[in-house]
Structure 1
Amino acid sequence: MITFFLVGLTVHVVFFLSIFDIYFTSPLVHGMTPQATSLAPPASRLVLVVADGLRADSLFTLLPNGSSRAPYLRSVLEEKGTWGVSHTRVPTESRPGHVALIAGFYEDVSAVAKGWKENPVEFDSVFNESRHTWSWGSPDILPMFAKGASGDHVYTYTYPAQEEDFASTDASRLDSWVFSQVKSFFQLAKSNSSLRASLLEDKNVFFLHLLGIDTNGHAHRPMSQEYLDNIGLVDTGVAELVSIVEDFFDYDGRTAYVFTSDHGMTNWGSHGAGHPSETLTPLIVWGAGVHNAQRVTEPQPYNDGYLQDWNLEHLRRVDVGQADIAPLMASLIGVPIPVNSVGVLPLPYLNNTDLFKAENMYTNAIQVLEQFKMKMTQKKETTLSFRSFFAALHSLLKLPFYLLNALPFISPYQISLCQSLISYSLEGLVYYHTYDRFFLGCSVVLGFVGWTSYVVLVILKTHASLNRHPSLLKQVRLCMCVTVVITVFLLIQRSPVTYYIYCLLPVPIWYSVLKESGMVTDLIHSAPSLPLWKCFVYFVLVAFGIELLVVSFFHRAMLTVGLAILSIWPFMSGLFGKAKFRSLSWFLGCLFLALFPLMPVVGREPNIHLMFHVAVCAYVPSLTHSSLQQKQGLPLLNQIISWITLGSSMLVPLLSSTRIFHRLLSIFLSLTATYLLLSTGSEALFPPVLSWLMFVWINIEQEAMLAQGVSGRQELSTIDFSANIDIAKIRQLKLDDIRRSYFFVFFIITAFFGTGNIASINSFDPASVYCFLTVFNPFIMGGLMMWKVIIPFIIVMCTFETIQVTGCELQTIINFNSISHSSPQHFFFLVQDYGSWLDIGTSISHYVIVMSMTIFLMLLSVVTHILTSQRLILWRRPKLHFP
């Protein structure tokens, strides 16, 4: 068992890591030459203001009396600027949002383990290409752009990280700090000659990162007065900022302004997923080189209904992708477009000559084309059988590029040709980025199939008395030949070291399968003696159940269907006649648990009165949320109680008796107490209901084994987890063991999706951790949320541990492996590299979750064994001596 566990863990870890080489590789390439136009830019300087967490509708929607909560910005878009909606991509977080705005490319998926603060690969940006950039704001964002900048020309001014406190009495002070610092900066420049000289140079950027709106949205929700008032404060600050800048530069008309947001926010105060409230952000551009507001009479090409809601149907709206803002800013001040940008210059924003627009569009096309050519060259040098991309693009590349001199005037055809070149180049980048995906995918699938086959053979060999001795000579020769061929192929292609692991690992796995091939022959010969109809029914039911679990990843309500079906199992199997009370308890437990997948996963408003079970742990969240609503901060006593409860939740069970009932009750209650502290609403009821159903499952399985006459079955009243199990009593495999293993997999999936899904992880509510901390810390907050996810897992794992011990099924975990292996293969085939980024990200996340869950449960089985069987004795009672 130990050998099998270690081998299985290694195989799963390798196949899990393979997804990082298949999907989570950085799309960025380096070595390109920056491209810039030779024409004089319209602006000498750019002011970029990013209101973190600002939704488009929150800014553009008028108040009931017809006025705007941001009167200055409203007057700008109605009189002297061009406006639109900037469409972001998932994940709608601050780091990828700002990278898209300033560097021009969307999420670098290789940043999956870097959190919010850092990009894993160095990248170019508008700040890096500027002569000087001065920036003010959050310590989570600004250093990222200074770190990758060449030279020492990106200056950052940040407030302490402790200021980002969701329990703050007024988070808008973060924005007030920024505006105050900028004002002091320009005041200083009037008396500092060297600073003034730097400011008067061209190609300068001023960046203001305003975090107050985002912080107030997390703490109080976007519909709160705090969030809306913060928008008014930002509007007033921007008006004063423009006045200060124009005054300093003597109203020379050479300043361009860009006001936008990195992402929006849901009604329940979260972001990270793809809801329109998160992906639709405002964009207002005005000043030097920008079109004034243009009134239109004909219908605009937008049918989303927002124009009417915002009362802006009379003003031309120009929507952009978030990455398109980077080439726009570069064109306005005449700096090279960031070399990794995939944005397309939005020409309608530019108020300049046709020649200027064509030159900048041409520069944009060459900049994207350079990335494609570099990617193609790199792949060509390391590929044995190179396949070229779209033939039309190669034909286009062979044309002499006389775009700007071929005609005596600038024609729309020239701009259209540049846009086509950008489109083809972007497709080519994706093509070469995913060039090895099919090859690596085949290796992973081959390994999956081999491991699943090996697990099945191990089960048969262990439980079905099929122990034919294999002949190894042919298999050894075949595997050696395959290994040599694969190694030579990878050497010629100069493949990375990890490719050797992914491609060669299936070889020993299939060797292990082939050497047991004689056992398959024995099984075929013994088939006539097997209850084939019952085997077929079980096979169909398990296949249906696996598909139901796969669908539940996309539609949580399928878990409700599954639980409803499971609820009638005692009645269909005949157990109801032998154990009526337990059968009814099972029926009711399944139905109650079936309610949770129907509840919303995100957007739950705090509903403290539902929290109960442990008096202190119910009182602490109530008092904490009350204190936060009154803006009195997080009470220190509550924080201490919460952390002590969390720390003791794994220790307290070890102090109880190892008798089954006492130990399980101790585990379930201590974990439920911690779960209460991490809950804001009805999900607090999930662990008690799940624990109830798990207790019933243990008891009803005892009745099922009694009905089958299972030898070696132990009575619950006599079980002590710390007792040694007699290995000789391990019984042979029965079809019901497959059913038990499937139940386990189903409850594990229910434990994960019962109160959440991908959206709830990407868009978790910070209010869930307010009992522990309120200052923004992504790693501690993420760790607490992960512990909340793990708690239902532990409850199910302890239950399964009990069923194994009581039924002498120490190898039932093998059955679980064989069933659970079909899910990763499902999701591997469902991974897609087309469609929206939400679709792509979700499909990849499903595979990662299933693979992580399989690896995690193998490790968690060891933890739960310790949790159930070990006991800490802090003191010993003195023995009494009687005369």
Structure 2
Amino acid sequence: MLIFIIAGLLVHCVFLASIFDIYFTSPLVHGMTPQRTPLPPPAKRLVLFIADGLRADTLYELDDNGTPQAPYLRNIIEYKGSWGVSHTHVPTESRPGHVALIAGFYEDVSAVAKGWKENPVEFDSVFNESKYTWSWGSPDILPMFAKGASGDHVYTYCYTAEKEDFGAQDATKLDTWVFDHVKNFFRAARSNQTLFSKVNEEKVVLFLHLLGIDTNGHAHRPNSREYKDNIRKVDEGINDIVSMLEDFYGNDGKTAFILTSDHGMTDWGSHGAGHPSETLTPLIAWGAGVNYPQKVTFQFFEDEFLKEWKLEKWKRLDVNQGILPLDYLNNSAHFKAESMFTNAVQILEQFKIKMTQKKETTLSFLFTPFQLLSDTEQINILRKARSYIHQEKYHEAVSLCKTLISLALEGLSYYHTYDRLFLGISVVMGFVGWTSYVILLIVKTHTSLTRSTHDKASTVLLLYGFGAIGVLIAFFLLIQTCPWTYYIYCLLPVPVWYAVVKEFRVIQDLASLLLVFPLGQSIGFLVAGALGIEILVFSFFYRSTLTVGLIAFAGWPLITRLWAQAKVTTLSWTLLCLLLAMFPLMPVVGREPNISLMLSIALSTYVVNSTHSSLQHKQGLPVINQIISWTTLASSLFVPLLSPTFFFQRLLSILLSLMSPYLLLSTGYEALFPLVLSGLMFSWIYMEKEALQHYGDSLKPKLAVLNFSYTTDITQFRQLHLDDIRRSFFFVFFIVTAFFGTGNIASVNSFDPASIYCFLTVFNPFIMGSLLVWKIVIPFVLVSCAFEAVQVTTQLSSKSLFLIVLVISDLMALHFFFLVKDYGSWLDIGTSISHYVLVMVFTIFIMLLSGLAQLLTTKRIELWGRTKRHSM
């Protein structure tokens, strides 16, 4: 069994890693010849204001008195610059948002596996191409651009992370800190000749990262007075900085100003997903090289915000984050055409390098070039575009350059995904082979089928045959100088399928059994199994699918005639199934009483109310509440071990102890979820006890006297029955329900920060993430402990359980492998990865949960001076 577990872990690690080699290798290309526009730029310097977490509608709207939220910026829109809405990319988080704004590309998909705070992929940026860049703001944003810069010309000034406190009295201090330090910097520049010379150079960037709005939005919500007051503070601060800079540079007209945001925010104070409140951010530009306001008589946008904002008379120019449109530029048609030509040549250089790389690693007779952009076609388009510019046909030149850019990007994608089909087939072959082997192992070791012995001669012949196939595959990869990971993906199916084919006698026995099995029953079983798997798969996309499954579960006793056998138990099962079925439809997000645990839940309830009341009054997080919260969390896994190991005493102790930290991490209806889920788990244990009538009354235990610590002789474990497949499916379904019952992938990505306020209010992504993970794990632990009880009650071998669950999860994983995306929004990409990864780690997760459940149910700590009580 140990060898099988190790082999299984290795195989699943390979399957898990495969999607990052197939779908998520870096598309960035290095080694291109730099391209520059020959004409001089209109501005010497850029001042970039990024108001983190600022929503477009909140900035542009008027208050009840008709007064703008940001009077100075409103004046810019009406008299000095251009404005619009910047449509951000998902995930609407700070890191990818800033990368898109400053580096000009949506975050490298390969970065999803390499880090959270800093983009770990080497990339170029506006800051790196500047002569000097000075930046002020958050330590979570600024360093990733400084570390990626070549040379020593990107300077950062950051405040400490402790200042990012959601419970602070005034989060606007994060922004006033930036404004004050910029002012001090330019005061110092007047008396420091070296610094004065630097700030007066060409190609200077000043970056002001303003985090106060985001922090206030998380703490108080975007519709709060605090959030809107912070916008006014930012407006005043920008006014001061612009005036100071114009005075410093003597109104030379060579400064360009841009205000925008990395992402917006939902009404409940979160971001990360694709809701319009998160993806619609403001964009206001003015100064050197920027168009003045353009008055229009009519303009149409689907969001219909213009009338609400009273800005329908001023032309709105919407952009996609990371792409600068020509409409914002106030320059000659010649300059725009030259800029577009330079951009086209830059992307074409990337295409050429990508094509050369792929051609060098592919056999010449197997290489298929991108037909739409041959060498001749490239030369013709470039020559024609340059001719248009010389003839002053600038519009035609821009149009032709856009065509070339489109073709080059399509070609880049073609060569980037060149090996995808080949690798995908190899991984699928491994998937199918592994799942087939596990099914054969279940049939061979846990059923009453004849276990045939192997024919030695046939085994040796198979070994040599599959060995020869492996050598041929390795030689084919070697002569193409493929990466070492390709060898793993392509060679893995060889030993897996050898193990399958070697069991051809078991396959014969299984085929013989299926032939004599009633056709209708076989079809019904297959249809039920396929439907069950599809319900699990669909639940990852549509939580309401779990509702359908739970309603079907409610009717299970009627089909199996358990209703007549135990009416009270089946009635409670049905009612609890229907009650639990309500949660996926809601919005995302013993014998002796244990008085101490009940007091713990009451205390947790008090701490939640007390903490949120204190934060509402801007008094911060009370230290005593923080101590109680962390103590409750730390003791939640220890307290159950003090209770007796009788079934219901221990299960009730686990429920009550885990409910306390869950309450501390809850903000709404989800606090009731563990209660309903646990009630259903208790009913499930009773139902499975009643279902044992099919195997004789000797197996039906009395739950009142069952003890988790009682060691069952492994010889008592029975062979598998069809009901055990149903039990394993129930377990997988309840585990999925435990995750999606109150949330989904997007809710994990954009969780409500208020859920961790009882523990901390200072921004710390790792502690916050750990607390969120523990909140998610608690329902899993409850389900696992209940299934531990079901396993002991039904005398079901843990090995056979593990194998059945493995087959179910691998069939789900194969579904999600085909659904993985590397295109579309980041939400689509991230969700597809998350689904696949969740199911792939399911096996490892189940093993860990099983170990934790066994610890919580079977172990007991005897305190000093406590009298031991032995079970009867």
TM-score of the superposition, structure 2-length normalised? 0.95
Residue 691 of structure 1: how far off its partner (Å):
0.7
The answer to whether the 8 A contact 2:133-2:153 is kept is yes
Equivalent residue number for residue 518 of structure 1: 505
CA–CA distance in structure 1, aligned partners of residues 311 and 655 of structure 2: 56
Equivalent residue number for residue 362 of structure 1: 341
Q: Identify if the C-alpha distance between structure 1 residues 282 and 504 changes in structure 2 by more than 3 Å, giving closer, same or farther.
A: same
Unaligned stretches of 5+ in structure 2? 590-597
CA–CA distance in structure 2, aligned partners of residues 485 and 867 of structure 1: 51
Q: Identify if the C-alpha distance between structure 1 residues 819 and 433 changes in structure 2 by more than 3 Å, giving closer, same or farther.
A: same
The answer to whether the 8 A contact 1:460-1:466 is kept is no
Equivalent residue number for residue 854 of structure 2: 865
Q: Counterpart of 2:562 in 1: which secondary structure?
A: coil
2:383 pairs with one of 388, 398, 401: 401
Equivalent residue number for residue 368 of structure 2: 387
The answer to whether the 8 A contact 2:85-2:281 is kept is yes
Q: Counterpart of 1:112 in 2: which secondary structure?
A: helix
CA–CA distance in structure 1, aligned partners of residues 392 and 852 of structure 2: 75
Residue 175 of structure 1: how far off its partner (Å):
0.4
The answer to whether the 8 A contact 1:634-1:770 is kept is yes
Q: Counterpart of 1:488 in 2: which secondary structure?
A: helix
Equivalent residue number for residue 331 of structure 1: none
Equivalent residue number for residue 292 of structure 2: 292
Equivalent residue number for residue 596 of structure 1: 583
Residue 115 of structure 1: how far off its partner (Å):
4.8
Equivalent residue number for residue 814 of structure 1: 803
Residue 710 of structure 1: how far off its partner (Å):
6.9
Equivalent residue number for residue 329 of structure 1: none
Residue 476 of structure 1: how far off its partner (Å):
0.8
Residue 383 of structure 1: how far off its partner (Å):
2.4
The answer to whether the 8 A contact 1:712-1:729 is kept is no
Equivalent residue number for residue 438 of structure 2: 455
Per-residue displacement from partner, 1:519-577 (whole Å, max 9, x unpaired)? 12122223455455334322211211211121111111111111111011112211111
Q: Identify if the C-alpha distance between structure 1 residues 51 and 357 changes in structure 2 by more than 3 Å, giving closer, same or farther.
A: same
CA–CA distance in structure 2, aligned partners of residues 558 and 878 of structure 1: 50
The answer to whether the 8 A contact 2:692-2:699 is kept is no
Q: Which amino acid aligns with 2:785?
A: C
CA–CA distance in structure 2, aligned partners of residues 585 and 88 of structure 1: 48
Q: Which amino acid aligns with 2:655?
A: F
Does 2:486 correspond to 1:489?
A: no
My pick for the range that moved more, 201-210 or 379-388, is: 379-388
CA–CA distance in structure 1, aligned partners of residues 107 and 320 of structure 2: 13
Equivalent residue number for residue 830 of structure 1: 819
The answer to whether the 8 A contact 1:84-1:283 is kept is yes
Does 2:535 correspond to 1:555?
A: no
Equivalent residue number for residue 839 of structure 1: 828
1:667 pairs with one of 654, 670, 677: 654
Per-residue displacement from partner, 1:607-641 (whole Å, max 9, x unpaired)? xxxx9981011111111111111111111111111
The answer to whether the 8 A contact 1:32-1:371 is kept is yes
CA–CA distance in structure 2, aligned partners of residues 119 and 813 of structure 1: 38
The answer to whether the 8 A contact 2:862-2:868 is kept is no
Q: Counterpart of 1:401 in 2: which secondary structure?
A: helix
Q: Which amino acid aligns with 1:647?
A: A
TM-score of the superposition, structure 1-length normalised? 0.93
Equivalent residue number for residue 164 of structure 1: 164
The answer to whether the 8 A contact 1:91-1:107 is kept is no
My pick for the range that moved more, 394-403 or 97-106, is: 394-403
Per-residue displacement from partner, 1:475-526 (whole Å, max 9, x unpaired)? 2122102211221122122222222222222222111111111112122223
1:429 pairs with one of 389, 395, 412: 412
Q: Identify if the C-alpha distance between structure 1 residues 113 and 523 changes in structure 2 by more than 3 Å, giving closer, same or farther.
A: closer
CA–CA distance in structure 2, aligned partners of residues 393 and 47 of structure 1: 41
Equivalent residue number for residue 304 of structure 1: 303
Equivalent residue number for residue 139 of structure 2: 139
The answer to whether the 8 A contact 1:103-1:323 is kept is yes
Q: Counterpart of 1:483 in 2: which secondary structure?
A: helix
Per-residue displacement from partner, 1:809-840 (whole Å, max 9, x unpaired)? 11222112222221111111122344444333
Equivalent residue number for residue 444 of structure 1: 427
The answer to whether the 8 A contact 1:393-1:425 is kept is no
Residue 114 of structure 1: how far off its partner (Å):
4.8
Does 2:365 correspond to 1:376?
A: no
My pick for the range that moved more, 249-258 or 119-128, is: 119-128
CA–CA distance in structure 1, aligned partners of residues 697 and 407 of structure 2: 66
My pick for the range that moved more, 54-63 or 693-702, is: 54-63
The answer to whether the 8 A contact 1:712-1:731 is kept is no
2:843 pairs with one of 839, 849, 854: 854
Q: Which amino acid aligns with 2:818?
A: F
CA–CA distance in structure 2, aligned partners of residues 136 and 430 of structure 1: 37
Q: Counterpart of 1:257 in 2: which secondary structure?
A: strand
Q: Counterpart of 1:291 in 2: which secondary structure?
A: coil
CA–CA distance in structure 2, aligned partners of residues 108 and 5 of structure 1: 35
RMSD of aligned C-alpha atoms?
1.9
Does 2:60 correspond to 1:71?
A: no
Residue 725 of structure 1: how far off its partner (Å):
1.8
My pick for the range that moved more, 768-777 or 795-804, is: 795-804
Q: How does 1:113-192 map to 2 (within 5 A)?
A: 113-192=113-192
Does 2:567 correspond to 1:580?
A: yes
Q: Which amino acid aligns with 1:829?
A: F
Q: Identify if the C-alpha distance between structure 1 residues 104 and 711 changes in structure 2 by more than 3 Å, giving closer, same or farther.
A: farther
Per-residue displacement from partner, 1:350-393 (whole Å, max 9, x unpaired)? 11111111111111111122222222222222223322224246
CA–CA distance in structure 2, aligned partners of residues 298 and 599 of structure 1: 41
Equivalent residue number for residue 396 of structure 2: 413
Q: Which amino acid aligns with 1:541?
A: A
The answer to whether the 8 A contact 1:116-1:140 is kept is no
The answer to whether the 8 A contact 2:372-2:407 is kept is no
CA–CA distance in structure 1, aligned partners of residues 711 and 502 of structure 2: 34
Q: How does 1:336-351 map to 2 (within 5 A)?
A: 346-351=325-330
Q: Percent identity?
A: 62
CA–CA distance in structure 2, aligned partners of residues 299 and 264 of structure 1: 24
Q: Identify if the C-alpha distance between structure 1 residues 99 and 393 changes in structure 2 by more than 3 Å, giving closer, same or farther.
A: farther
Equivalent residue number for residue 83 of structure 2: 83
Residue 687 of structure 1: how far off its partner (Å):
0.6
1:468 pairs with one of 439, 452, 477: 452
The answer to whether the 8 A contact 2:272-2:749 is kept is yes
CA–CA distance in structure 2, aligned partners of residues 780 and 765 of structure 1: 14
Q: Counterpart of 1:286 in 2: which secondary structure?
A: strand
CA–CA distance in structure 2, aligned partners of residues 697 and 393 of structure 1: 65
Q: Counterpart of 1:207 in 2: which secondary structure?
A: strand
The answer to whether the 8 A contact 1:712-1:730 is kept is no
Residue 867 of structure 1: how far off its partner (Å):
2.5
Equivalent residue number for residue 631 of structure 1: 618
Per-residue displacement from partner, 1:143-180 (whole Å, max 9, x unpaired)? 11111111111111111110000001010110011111
Q: Which amino acid aligns with 2:833?
A: I
Q: Counterpart of 1:576 in 2: which secondary structure?
A: helix
Equivalent residue number for residue 764 of structure 1: 751
The answer to whether the 8 A contact 2:135-2:209 is kept is yes
My pick for the range that moved more, 769-778 or 813-822, is: 813-822
The answer to whether the 8 A contact 2:102-2:125 is kept is yes
Q: Counterpart of 1:284 in 2: which secondary structure?
A: strand
The answer to whether the 8 A contact 1:136-1:142 is kept is yes
My pick for the range that moved more, 759-768 or 395-404, is: 395-404
Q: Counterpart of 2:48 in 1: which secondary structure?
A: strand
Q: Counterpart of 2:709 in 1: which secondary structure?
A: coil
Q: How does 1:604-619 map to 2 (within 5 A)?
A: 614-619=601-606
1:657 pairs with one of 619, 637, 644: 644
CA–CA distance in structure 2, aligned partners of residues 430 and 789 of structure 1: 37
Equivalent residue number for residue 542 of structure 1: 529
CA–CA distance in structure 2, aligned partners of residues 144 and 162 of structure 1: 19
Q: Which amino acid aligns with 1:314?
A: K
Equivalent residue number for residue 268 of structure 1: 268
Does 2:543 correspond to 1:564?
A: no
The answer to whether the 8 A contact 1:535-1:735 is kept is no
Residue 433 of structure 1: how far off its partner (Å):
2.1
Q: Which amino acid aligns with 1:722?
A: S
